[in-house]
């Protein structure tokens, strides 16, 4: 028997190791753990946000933290079948969920001490929206939102100056109260609402308020 060539044996060993390691990349990553659809996800720090980045759907998302975090990495999130709840927080300056299009439950944004802007540029449908007690909030922008199954409620956001709901056609209720600085309310396409309540918003044009209050009820 001829002696085995040690170099040839080494090459074979290297090849076996390379194939074994390469095989790891052929196994699809199981996103069911990182992107659960059977339970709500709670984000309390930036590592949580980065861990959830890339997920497209969720059954529920809760953001509650005392840390400074940026939600921009969640730009691929498109649908939430339950609630989106943000607050209380102290370290979020802007909320931008660029691809979020549908939230079947409630969008609740409340008690966020540093929040100045809420931007949901592609949101089209929501079950209910509640935005309250965000004292630094100046802008709410949801320009593609067409329908709210329940109510849109904005209350006690004392720095609020602008609300953009320029595509909204129907909502059960439109409630906007206690906004001393609110000057612009864009709801030009609203056709039907069971209740329109606008109070303590002295900078809004009176004719706009009366026009909205005259909207017919949903059949």
Q: Contacts by 170-178 with C-beta closer than 8 Å and gap 24+?
A: 170/146, 170/218, 171/147, 172/148, 172/218, 173/197, 174/198, 174/212, 175/151, 176/201, 177/201
Residue 201 has a pLDDT of 97
> Which contiguous run of DSSP H or E holds residue 155?
strand 147-155
Contact 137, 112 (CB under 8 A): yes
Nearest to 78 by CA among 103, 61, 96, 60: 103
Report the C-alpha gap between 176 and 198 in whole angstroms. 5
Residue 132 has a pLDDT of 98
Q: Which residues of the chain have pLDDT under 70?
A: 1-32, 216-219
Residue 4 has a pLDDT of 56
């Amino acid at each position: 028997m001829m002696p085995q060539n040690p170099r040839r044996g080494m090459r074979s060993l290297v090849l076996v190791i390379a194939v074994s390691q390469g095989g790891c990349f052929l196994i699809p990553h199981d996103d069911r753990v990182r992107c659960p659809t059977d339970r709500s996800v709670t984000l309390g720090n930036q590592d949580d946000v980065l861990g959830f980045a890339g997920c497209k759907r969720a059954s529920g998302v809760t953001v509650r933290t005392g840390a400074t975090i940026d939600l921009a990495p969640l730009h691929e999130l498109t649908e939430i079948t339950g609630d989106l709840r943000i607050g209380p927080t102290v370290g979020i300056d802007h909320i931008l969920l660029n691809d979020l299009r549908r939230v079947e439950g409630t969008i609740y944004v409340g008690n966020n001490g540093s929040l100045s802007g809420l931007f949901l540029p592609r949101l089209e449908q929501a079950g209910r929206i509640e935005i309250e007690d965000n004292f630094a909030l100046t802008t709410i922008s949801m320009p593609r939102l067409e329908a709210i199954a329940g109510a849109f409620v904005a209350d006690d956001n004392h720095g609020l100056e602008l609300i953009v709901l320029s595509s909204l056609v129907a909502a059960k209720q439109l409630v906007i109260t206690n906004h001393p600085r609110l000057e612009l309310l864009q709801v030009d396409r609203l056709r039907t609402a069971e209740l329109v309540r606008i109070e303590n918003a002295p900078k809004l044009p009176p004719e706009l308020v009366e026009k909205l209050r005259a909207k017919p009820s949903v059949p």
